[in-house]
Amino acid sequence: MDQLKSPSLFRQSCYINGQWVSAEETINVANPANQAVLGQIPALPTDAVNLAVEHAHDAMDAWRAQTGKQRAAILRRWFNLIEENADDLALIMTLEQGKPLHEAKGEILYAASFIEWFAEEGKRIYGDTIPQTVASTRITTLKQPIGVCSAITPWNFPAAMITRKAAPALAAGCTIVVKPATETPFTALALAELADQAGIPAGVFNVVTGDSRAIGGVLTSHPLISKFSFTGSTPVGRLLAEQCASTIKKTSLELGGNAPFIVFDDADVDKAVASGIAAKFRNGGQTCVCVNRFYIHSDVYDEFLTKFTAKVAQLNVGNGAEAGTDIGPMITSKAVQDMQALVDDALERGAKQIPLGNEIEEHGNFFNPKVLVDVDHSMRIANEEIFGPVATLIRFDSEEEVLKMANDTIYGLASYFFSNDIRRVTRVAERIESGMVGINTGIISNEVAPFGGVKQSGLGREGSKYGIEDYLELKYLCLDVD
């Protein structure tokens, strides 16, 4: 971390109630490109996590008492500081997460955009006046901050998954305790350092690190917490939702996906190829909205395959900190093994791997992009989240057939399709089972649009005007004026 322009951004302590807190036990955090230890984070004992929740609770009254405009001014300072320190934050992210520097910088700006957006939205939390049914009554509603919030976030987007939750919480007048993924805590702690510099009051934004089960236990069951938000795998989300049930916490879950990407015979194939590369290989494929299954109409299959494969063959695998890298290391050796097991299962069941010619010798967490053809739904790879740079191609002949295959999954996060027929676009957009649909585009994420899934991909929406609702309670007032 000695290349940082602002070395104070590299924090190896938790941030609780405006203080930097260490613990007797620590956990090493390593660079996934070369396993070099970057630093240590506290393995916080549960009583310290309980204390963090109590501080967040104590800080609530003063924070919620500020106006939306006052909170917006503080959040705006946080946003500005993140933008000013974007290069340092990107470097920290690349070193702990592996993604190429230009992608890390893109994520920092994306993360900051949620703070700017929700700072503004916090000024516009309106209630309603409802026409009464009894002459002497007056009916109104108020929206109030839900209370202390907690969040557990993943390693694939170490900054944006925090700000997409913390920004609406803080803008609404709530306080929050965040546990980042153990692989990528330093980006989170750098955000905390900037929150401190921005003047976010003590106890309003807290970051705790350590054993995920123990901390998760507190963050999903503490009676002072009203709302829990999670981004990560579906099995862990299911478990955490169960844990939240005992204290009836409002729960947002942004879980796994199995995105289909459909290219119809009337599509612009060149556009579909370029968009497919972006939607599949962004963050090395380690994104919940990355394409899991390409369905290509038989009439354009050969053209798509030739052009797509040529582009995949140009992707460079390497250290994300080095210029020219398109795909950094996978997050862990386990992620590599899990993905290789999906590829092996597909190959055993009849899929074929297309030689690309640009393969490096796979070592450590470096994993070449792969294109598999003759994939079908009997294979694990068509049913499970790949979370890596493997593209799987399936042929189809009719709209009915492809919709059936696309919807044949427990997931429903993102889907993509390409067609130039407006009637088909309308039909397919209405029938495809996902919370988000990219039509003739492979990039759908931004702060103004509602991000979230249906089926077992989760609950709730993040970003957009809807994203703040999860951090508010609606109160109904019935006044008798006689």
Ligand X SMILES: O=C(O)CCCC(=O)O
What is the set of active-site residues?
254
Judge whether 329 and 347 are in contact, CB under 8 Å: no
For ligand X, which residue of 445, 450, 466, 469 counts as binding (CB under 6 A)?
A: 445
Tell me the closest approach of the beta carbon of residue 389 to ligand X, in angstroms.
14
Task: State the binding string over 202-241 for ligand X (x if CB under 6 A, else -).
Answer: -----------------------------x----------
13 binds ligand NDP (CB under 6 A): no
Q: Which one, 181 or 225, has the nearer CB to ligand NDP? A: 181
233 binds ligand NDP (CB under 6 A): yes
Site for ligand NDP in 110-169 (CB under 6 A): 152-156
389 binds ligand NDP (CB under 6 A): no
SS3 246: coil
Q: Are strands 137-145 and 14-16 parallel, antiparallel or unpaired?
A: unpaired
Judge whether 454 and 441 are in contact, CB under 8 Å: no
For ligand X, which residue of 31, 97, 156, 175 counts as binding (CB under 6 A)?
A: 156
Tell me the closest approach of the beta carbon of residue 445 to ligand X, in angstroms.
3
Tell me the closest approach of the beta carbon of residue 158 to ligand X, in angstroms.
10
- State the CB neighbour count (10 A cutoff) for residue 350: 11
236 binds ligand NDP (CB under 6 A): yes
Q: What is the distance between the terminal CA atoms of the chain, rounded to a whole angstrom?
A: 69
287 binds ligand X (CB under 6 A): yes
* Interface region with ligand NDP, contact rule CB under 6 A, candidates 211-219, 309-317, 340-348, 368-376: 211-219
437 binds ligand X (CB under 6 A): no
Q: How many residues bind ligand X (CB under 6 A)?
A: 11
- Give the CA distances from residue 110 to residues 177, 206, 263, 327, in Å, rounded to whole numbers and listed in that order: 21, 21, 28, 19
Contacts of 253 (CB under 8 A, 6+ apart): 229, 230, 237, 240, 241, 458, 459, 460
Largest CA distance in the chain: 83
Judge whether 451 and 436 are in contact, CB under 8 Å: yes
Q: Are strands 26-30 and 370-373 parallel, antiparallel or unpaired?
A: unpaired
Tell me the closest approach of the beta carbon of residue 361 to ligand X, in angstroms.
29
- Give the CA distances from residue 277 to residues 27, 274, 327, 362, in Å, rounded to whole numbers and listed in that order: 36, 5, 12, 21
125 binds ligand X (CB under 6 A): no
Site for ligand NDP in 169-198 (CB under 6 A): 181-183
Tell me the closest approach of the beta carbon of residue 148 to ligand X, in angstroms.
24
Task: Tell me the residue ranges of DSSP E strands in 87-156.
Answer: 129-130, 137-145, 148-152
* Interface region with ligand NDP, contact rule CB under 6 A, candidates 5-13, 231-239, 310-318, 354-362: 231-239
Residue owning tokens 């790949």: 386
Residue 333 host element (H or E): helix 333-348
* Interface region with ligand X, contact rule CB under 6 A, candidates 131-139, 192-200, 283-291, 425-433: 283-291
d(C-alpha 15, C-alpha 19), whole Å: 6
In the complex, residue closest to ligand NDP by CB: 216
The letter for the amino acid at 14 is: C
- State the CB neighbour count (10 A cutoff) for residue 273: 23
187 binds ligand X (CB under 6 A): no
Work out what residue 181 binds among ligand NDP, ligand X, none; the CB cut-off runs from 5 to 8 Å by kind: ligand NDP
Judge whether 175 and 30 are in contact, CB under 8 Å: no
289 binds ligand X (CB under 6 A): yes
252 binds ligand NDP (CB under 6 A): no
d(C-alpha 280, C-alpha 285), whole Å: 6
Site for ligand X in 292-321 (CB under 6 A): none
d(C-alpha 285, C-alpha 389), whole Å: 5
Tell me the closest approach of the beta carbon of residue 287 to ligand X, in angstroms.
4
Applying CB under 6 A, which residues contact ligand X? 156-157, 160-161, 231, 254, 287-289, 445, 451
Applying CB under 6 A, which residues contact ligand NDP? 152-156, 181-183, 212-213, 216, 231-233, 236, 239-240, 254-256, 288, 335, 385, 387
